[in-house]
Amino acid sequence: MKPDIAWPRNDYSRVPFWLHHDEDIYALEMERIFRGPAWSYLCLEAEIPNPCDFRTTWVGDTPVIVSRAKDGVIHAFVNRCSHRGAMIVRELRGNAERLVCLYHRWCYSNAGELTGLPFRKGLKGEGGMPEDFDMKAVSPQRLKVANCHGMLFGTFSDRAETIEAYLGEFGIGMVRRFLSRPVRILGYSRQRIAGNWKLYAENLRDTYHASLLHEFFVTYGVDRATQKGGVKMDARHRHNMNHAYAGSDSQEEAKAAYADTAARLDRMQLRDKKLLNYKNEFPDGMNLAAPTFFPNALLIQINNTLGTRQIRPKGPGAHEVFQTLFGYVDDDEAMTRHRLISANLVGPAGFVSMEDGEAIEVIQKATRSSPEGCEVIEMGGRGPVADQAHRVTEAPIRGFWSYWAELMGVEPAGGIR
């Protein structure tokens, strides 16, 4: 099937609203992107450190189990019982020698092989499965797994590039930046957003909105366009890193720059400023770094809050953002506590993250009735997509759409890459 998308322009500076609402587009995305040659983020290796550890996750709308077998090898396979299709594991994570489906107790190894089922040989010579029933042949579908410095990715496709080629030097460098020290998991959050998953993928590449939508950011100087920073993409423009340097602007500079916006930098003061404490911990001096990986992943540093986020599409009109917060094994207690306090910025009730959810939901509501309408994406320029040493830009969003269109097989004539 080739959906008929009338791109008004070949540089993705106009994106039709209906792509966020259409059932057929959604089904095709699951097939060509999430079950296609893209690498999807699964979880962190630090979540399954021991033999027989497992963690449940999603690749697009497919439930997946990531597990470590007794020999230490990491496997990923579809979390769906071979028998009648029940989800095999419902917990977020755990440790078990055998994974057992609740419905008829069919039993799976940590490598995802069906290893046994009750009453296979029947009872007193009656019933049971046919003699030649082949357990191996019906075992759940497996994913190819790649481990990039402790960040686990999976793909269903044999056609996928190597993870090194997919992430590029750029992407691998970003993962290494965050995961160069052994990681300690601090907790999880889930944010359900009533909007299309691509609106969140756009949001992560949208450096323009950060200091306008997020009053907390601009008021307290956590993230402002007046800081030094920029956007940096891989060669294919499918991944991007939005970044900014701590303390690289002044309150006066910011006041002048935001004079014509609704932002009021003097309106509120925090009585407890612990939330704003920041301890530089990376050699590059960035206080905000948000590398985002097509299609479903983000690594995020906001001051000393560190995490991964995974986008889980839930039909064309909803998605979930699953966040894993982490610190490092060698953090002292004070640092761990500080990271947890800073974590109030993110998650479903966070001072920052809840606003992204709201913005996406009002887009979804308002665009349903405009099948002919388009997003206007021209901030930072039209035409070819390139890195920029400032953040008044939406160029990485056009990069996202260009790769989306390539995988979907819907590029316009002369479409930029």
Specify the residue, 335 or 354, whose C-beta has the smaller distance to Fe ion: 354
Specify the residue, 45 or 356, whose C-beta has the smaller distance to Fe ion: 356
Length of the chain: 417
Give the CA count within 13 Å in the CB-facing half-sphere of 307. Answer: 24
Least distance in Å: CB of 227 to Fe ion?
A: 15
Least distance in Å: CB of 199 to Fe ion?
A: 11
Which positions lie near Fe ion, rule CB under 5 A? Answer: 356
**Three-class DSSP category at 114:** strand
Specify the residue, 199 or 325, whose C-beta has the smaller distance to Fe ion: 199
Q: How far apart are CA 114 and CA 82, in angstroms?
A: 8
- If you search the block for the tokens 């994570």, which residue do you land on? 93
Least distance in Å: CB of 287 to Fe ion?
A: 16
Tell which residue, 48, 56, 60, has the closest CA to residue 77: 56
Residue 214: which residues within 8 A CB-CB, separation 6 or more?
223, 351, 352, 355
Residue 172: which residues within 8 A CB-CB, separation 6 or more?
148, 149, 164
Is the CB of residue 94 less than 8 Å from the CB of residue 54?
A: yes
Specify the residue, 281 or 355, whose C-beta has the smaller distance to Fe ion: 355
Tell which residue, 100, 52, 102, has the closest CA to residue 75: 52
Q: How far apart are CA 229 and CA 125, in angstroms?
A: 73
Specify the residue, 175 or 222, whose C-beta has the smaller distance to Fe ion: 222
Tokens found for residue 24: 């057929």
Distance from chain centroid for Cα 318: 14
Is the CB of residue 256 less than 8 Å from the CB of residue 226?
A: no
Least distance in Å: CB of 353 to Fe ion?
A: 7
Specify the residue, 262 or 413, whose C-beta has the smaller distance to Fe ion: 262
DSSP 3-state percent helix, strand, coil across the chain (nearest 5): 25, 25, 45
**Three-class DSSP category at 136:** helix
Specify the residue, 65 or 201, whose C-beta has the smaller distance to Fe ion: 201
Specify the residue, 22 or 356, whose C-beta has the smaller distance to Fe ion: 356
Which residue's Cβ lies closest to Fe ion?
A: 356
Tokens found for residue 390: 């400032």
Q: What are phi and psi of 147, to 5 degrees?
A: -110, 110
Residue 193: which residues within 8 A CB-CB, separation 6 or more?
199, 200, 318, 319, 320, 321, 356, 357, 360, 361
Specify the residue, 110 or 301, whose C-beta has the smaller distance to Fe ion: 301
Q: How far apart are CA 256 and CA 274, in angstroms?
A: 27
